[in-house]
Amino acid sequence: MDFTWIKLTIGAIATIGLYSVLYRENKFYRLIEHIYLGLAAGWSITALWTESLKSTWWDKMVGTPTASGQPGTPGYWAYILLLPIGLMAYFVFSRKNNWVSRIPIGIILGLWAGQQADAWSKKFLPQIAASMKPIIPNDAFIVPAGTGPTPGSLYVSQAVTNIIFLVTLLSVLSYFLFSFELKTRFMKGMTTTGRWLMMIGFGAIFGNTVMTRFTLLIDRMYFIWIEWLITGTFKM
Amino acid sequence: MADLAQEERTFGEKLQSLPRQVLYLILIVVISASVIASKFAGPALVLPNKPGNNAIEFYATVMNVPEGSTVAIQSDWTNSTRGESAGQLESLLRILMRRNVKFMVYSLADPQAPQVARDTIARITLERKLKGEREYKRWDDWISLGFFPNGEGTAKSIQSDIRKAFKGKRDVSPEGPRDVYQSPVLKNIQTLDDLGLYINITASKTIDVLIERLKFKPARFGDFEVKNKLGSMCTGVMGPETVNYYSAGLLFGLVVGLNGVVEMETLMENGVNWPEGKKTVEYAKDKQLVVPGWTGKQNYARGTSYYFALHTGMALLILAVLAGNIGMWLARSGKGKNA
Amino acid sequence: MNFLIAQAPATPPLNFWNGDNATAGLWIKIIIGLVLGFALMIGLLFAPTRMRRPIVVTFTFLAGLFWMVQWLWPRAGEGVTEPTNATEGVALWLKDALPVVTDFANILTAFLLGLGIYSLVSIHGKRLIKKQTDWVFSGILLLSIVIMMIFGYADWLTRLGEGAAKVELVPGFWNRGRDLLFDGMLQQMDAAMFSLIAFFILSAAYRAFRIRSIESTILLSTALIVMISIMGAIVFMLDSAAAPVSNNLKLSEIAGWITGSLQTPAIRAINFGVGVGALAMGIRLWLSLDRGGVSG
């Protein structure tokens, strides 16, 4: 019984314990579930300190010594002010002084909100530019599959594809943005088409979601059968 | 009474109402059998895969990063998506280590992520060690920068001045913890554009945080042109949204989900437009581009091991949806009675 | 605001805002800062009700203002380190301040992440003390937190000194313990918990994915094409069958066309709508226009 096998076995028991809920809710599942939550919370506390706060907050506040133990980087005392500001968030559990918690939360939301205009321009302007596709053809009818387009030429098939791209973009956009009542038949038709075309996006999301979720299950079965049993236990 | 009701149900109704435990059991059996079959069949069950342009461009760019340069890996996943994200990071690490490219790893998403990434690096380092390849050393070849809870601000800081963004961070060196800027990995990085590439491996929307904040200048790696140094390896769930960014030119390449891992493994084995590969992977956009692979090395790994099971799992889901719909039609049309 | 020098590359000169590491002077400043900070916090508890909203609005606005100004203010030229005019001076100050503001954001976010953990501990602590239903599980949860914290921290400590390299070769008690708890248990449980969704997806798709309308037909057809296009072996077979007829009839080409011409613009449009919403929400939050928002 080596350490690796013990580690794998504990992991396998935990996996089976969590899977037992598929049959029905039971005490074994509840036990593993609570251990899972506890370990995750425990690691978060540790990692918030070791991976983040120690270097970002503490070391900058108290400074760091050199390798020989002499004062190296000086400390900046103002960093201590973040402790009471951060602790104000915990007043969210107080009935009387609940509002104080809105100060640190407001600061973080303000920092997020202040970046949105810049973020929007960096994210969407290139997308808008990439959506401006040419629609007037200047070359043969169809581009053969498996070959690249000739620079400067636009095949009829590409032009049709670009028109479909633009119609999809605009109709889904109209469905998404015009939430008020539409009176013209054209706009009604546009939003209906948008709704249908939006389903293509959702269908693709569904297909890809299935891939992810099934892969996670495959990974667990691989762990149980191959890593733990076949390789870990029977050494095959 | 219950039995009587059961008997009166038509075939169509029965087809729509399999107990969920039965469905679960079928799924477990199908996936388990497929995984075990893959293990014992070995190379006989390496299924074909046709890498898409997004994966080819990702691979080609990573393969052209100059040797000795530094790649930033923002690893924003934990084992909750091990099936997809672990294979992605493993394939990336194999390439970077074989090509002697340095890297730094950190997370903007989860406190568990840095440790999970370090464990993955340890796995690949051990794999190389057992094959007698050069050991990739922490501090000299790679560093870990930990976790940054405020991803938005950190990305802004990286964009503004990368020399100050990680100020105060220390990592393990042979002489104990030292300032990360003294490491060979970060020593020569003065601006964001000095990075070889910036790759985000994510199970969430952290690529949005980067797209909204990082802006790379176009670069050249020898004859190879790179319009954007930001690349993404994301889970299938995030795939459709991220494909949109790739098609708008905001990413140099994209690897999506388990299929993406298999694409990477196929490319590592066969290269791109590479005549020496076992199979030819064509890149129709640029037939002059030739990127070699590493035929015969440890290329087929996690992705290939899971791929057959993905086929059977997907087929099962399609069958289940078909059964449900056929059941509905039969029940509606009144057919299948007393079947 | 000289404490911004915390980010300067060389060892900065000592001033009011800083002090040498491990000196009494620095510690006295830190303690005074801490006392002042707590005094401010306690003072806020006694703020009159009508002042509460303006206080929160001010903090939120100032936090957002930094990034807005940072975005809109003209940049100093590349390589400029000394300002030649006031505009450049502000630009350089903003550049210097940026990593400090980011530090503050990281630190405050870390404190806020603790809220969830505090809530978890508080709920299960109460259940344990009052011996309510399932109090044993609550006790196990709290014990798991403590054990993981001890091993996680002890493991980290062993990796701090010159012995870090040795730890990788010959792991000690704390390293093995951390390995067992983190890799052996937590990560396996994490993977198992999230993989359960596969079962629910299968069950839900079987029961609810019905072709009843145009929308559901389109959704199902697209999902089907996407799923089949992910199955490389099927794609290979269908492509091989279509190749003699026309390359354009290959499944990989059709799937690629759907992705590029229908899926991408549809998702781009959805994303665009969400983006406009996020921008509007950002402005409303920054200016505290929502009475029900953070400003109360």
DSSP codes, B210-236: HHTT--PPPEEETTEEES--EEEEE-T
**Is residue A15 classed as helix, strand or coil in its secondary structure?**
helix
Contact between chains at A52 and B146 (C-beta distance less than 8 A): yes
Looking at residue B279, its pLDDT comes to 86
pLDDT of residue C162: 64
What is residue C9's predicted lDDT score, i.e. its pLDDT?
A: 46
Taking CB atoms and an 8 Å limit, are C98 and B156 in contact across chains? yes
Q: In sequence order, what are the beta bridge partners of A73?
A: A64
Chain C residues with CB under 8 Å of B157 CB are 98-99, 102
The pLDDT value recorded for residue C200 is: 96
- Cα–Cα–Cα angle for B232, B237, B241, rounded to 5 degrees: 60
Digit-coded pLDDT (tens) for B273-296: 999 988 889 998 888 999 999 998
Chain C nearest-CA distance from B221, in A, is 24
Q: Looking at residues C3-27, what average pLDDT do you find?
A: 74
Q: Lowest-confidence range among B107-111, B334-338, C215-219?
A: B334-338
**pLDDT tens digit sequence for B154-166:** 999 999 999 999 9
Closest to B286 (Cβ–Cβ): which among A130, A148, A222? A148
On whether the CB atoms of residues A205 and B240 are closer than 8 A, the answer is: yes
Residue A73 φ then ψ, to 5°: -80, 130
Contact of C116 with A43, CB cutoff 8 Å: no
Structural domains of chain B in order of their starting residue, each with its CATH number: 11-43+305-333 (no CATH), 65-264 (3.40.50)
What's the sign of the alpha-carbon dihedral B39, B45, B46, B50? negative
CA atoms of C240 and B245, how far apart (whole Å): 31
Four-CA torsion C194, B86, B238, A33, nearest 10 degrees: 10
DSSP β-bridge partners for residue C62: none
Q: Could you list the mean pLDDT of each consecutive 10-residue stretch along chain A, which spans 236 residues?
A: 92 97 95 97 96 95 82 90 96 92 95 95 95 86 63 83 94 79 79 90 93 97 97 90
When CB atoms are compared, the residue of A22, A104, A114 closest to C108 is: A104
Q: Would you call B19 an interface residue with chain A, using a CB distance cutoff of 8 Å?
A: no
B 192-251: CB under 8 A from A: 208, 211-213, 215, 235-237, 239-241, 244-245, 247-250
For residue B202, what are the β-bridge partners? Answer: B76, B234
When scoring B160, B194, B282, B304 by the number of chain C Cβ atoms within 10 A, the one with the most, hence best to mutate, is B160
How many helices (H) and strands (E) in chain A?
8, 3
Count of helix runs (H) and strand runs (E) in chain B: 12, 10
Amino acid type, B284: A
Residues of B (26-85) whose Cβ lies below 8 Å from A: 27-28, 31-32, 34-36, 39, 80-84
* The pLDDT value given to residue B277: 85
Q: Which residues contact C273 (CB under 8 A, 6 or more apart)?
A: A173, A176, A177
User: Please, what is the average pLDDT of chain B?
Assistant: 93
Contact C64 A199 (CB under 8 A): no
The interaxial angle of helices C264-286 and A116-131, nearest 10 deg, is 160
**Is C167 within 8 Å of chain A by CB?**
no
What residues does B172 pair with on adjacent strands? B177
Contact of A90 with C118, CB cutoff 8 Å = yes
C-alpha distances in Å from residue A109, one per residue of B65, C58, C104, C261, C296:
38, 12, 13, 37, 14
Q: How much of chain C is helix, strand and coil, in % rounded to 5?
A: 75, 0, 20
What percent of chain A is predicted at pLDDT more than 90? 72
Q: Which residue in chain B is spatially nearest to C203 when comparing CA positions?
A: B20
Q: Are B112 and C186 an interchain contact pair (Cβ–Cβ within 8 Å)?
A: yes
The closest of B151, B165, B153 to B202, measured between CA atoms, is: B151
Distance (Å, whole) CA C196 – CA A18: 8
C-alpha dist (Å) from residue C296 to C46, C170, C181, C290: 17, 56, 42, 8
Shortest distance between the Cα of A35 and any Cα of chain C, in A, equals 5
Query: What is the Cα–Cα distance from A157 to A177, expressed in whole angstroms?
Result: 30
Most confident of B84-93, B173-182, B282-291: B84-93
Between C110 and C2, the higher pLDDT residue = C110
Listing DSSP states for B88-139 in one string gives HHHHHHHHHHHTT-EEEEEESS-TTHHHHHHHHHHHHHHHHHHTTPPPP-BT
Do B107 and B117 contact (CB within 8 A), yes or no? yes
Give me C24's structure tokens: 């009494």
Q: Do A47 and B309 touch (CB under 8 A)?
A: no
> B230-234 and B254-256 as β-strands: parallel, antiparallel, unpaired?
parallel
pLDDT at B3: 53
**B48·C233 Cβ contact <8 A:** yes
Q: Phi/psi of residue C158, each to 5°?
A: -65, -20
Does A48 contact B244 at a Cβ distance shorter than 8 Å?
Answer: no
Q: What's the whole-number mean pLDDT along residues B312-328? A: 95
In this structure, what token pair is assigned to residue C241? 């069958």
Query: What torsion, rounded to 10 degrees, do the Cα atoms C25, C28, C32, C37 define?
Result: 90
CA distance C51 to chain B (A): 29
Scanning A65-94 for CB atoms below 8 A from C yields 65, 71-90, 92-93
Between A and B, how many CB-CB pairs are < 8 A? Answer: 170
Q: How far apart are CA B329 and CA B152, in angstroms?
A: 51
Query: Could you tell me which of C206, C207, B93, B88 has the C-alpha nearest to residue A219?
Result: B88
Reported as a single tens digit per residue, the pLDDT across B303-318 is 999 999 999 999 999 9
Distance CA B61, CA A38 (A): 42
Using DSSP, how many helices (H) and how many strands (E) does chain C show?
Answer: 12, 1
Residue C282 vs residues A115, A119, C73, C290: alpha-carbon distances, Å: 8, 11, 19, 11
- Residue B272 is given by DSSP the state B
ipTM of this predicted structure: 0.93
Q: Can you tell me whether residue A71 is helix, strand or coil?
A: strand
Distance between CA atoms of residues B309 and B316, nearest Å: 10
Check if A28 contacts C (Cβ < 8 Å).
no
Closest CA to C192 of A18, B21, A68, B158: A18
Q: What mean pLDDT do residues B230-247 have? A: 96
A:144-203 residues touching chain B, CB 8 A cutoff: 146-148, 201
